[in-house]
Amino acid sequence: SSVSGGTPGAADDGVVVGPEPGGGYDDWQSSQFTEDQLADESVSGPLADADNDGWVNLQEYAFFGNPSSPESHGPDLVYIESVPHLAITRPAGISDVTYIIEQSADLANWSVYQPLAQSAVLGDQDQERIHFQINLQDGPYWRIVTTKN
């Protein structure tokens, strides 16, 4: 809000206003932080983690998280008709982040993994759920690396 001490991303009447779907990282960042926070890269920068939850701001954005709440989450392992998938929630229409699935046998050596299939499930107008089909026999450890385009 424009009120001193107000809520970042909220209108003056207290209604929280999020970024437009597909607006990109910069729009998201502006909707999540105050002007003072935006001026401080250690709080609002893409590699900052001001809420100390282990998720930097770029990951909070990429996985539809909240940079002010330590309750953010990333990928989930889900089963669809007994088939394993890595599932993520991300902003609807996101086009400025690349998601790369990697697998490892030992947590030291990682290799890019091409999912067997990918599907999208639309959530509300702000988010979508993406499922990446994987074969658990290909490796016991999995991660999704995010990079800003």
CA nearest to 132, candidates 112, 116, 147: 116
Structural element, H or E, at residue 78: strand 76-80
- What's the gap between Cα 107 and its chain centre? 22
> What pairing do the DSSP bridges indicate for beta strands 83-91 and 97-104?
unpaired
Contact criterion met (CB below 8 Å) for 66 and 60: yes
Mean pLDDT lowest for which of 35-39, 69-73, 106-110, 132-136?
69-73
Q: DSSP secondary-structure letter at 137?
A: G
pLDDT band at residue 67 under the 50/70/90 scheme: very high
Predicted local distance difference test score (pLDDT) of residue 15 = 42
pTM: 0.79
Mean pLDDT (the chain) is 85
DSSP track, 28-68 = HHHHHS-HHHHT-HHHHSTT--TT-SS--HHHHHHTT--TT
Residue 50 pLDDT: 87
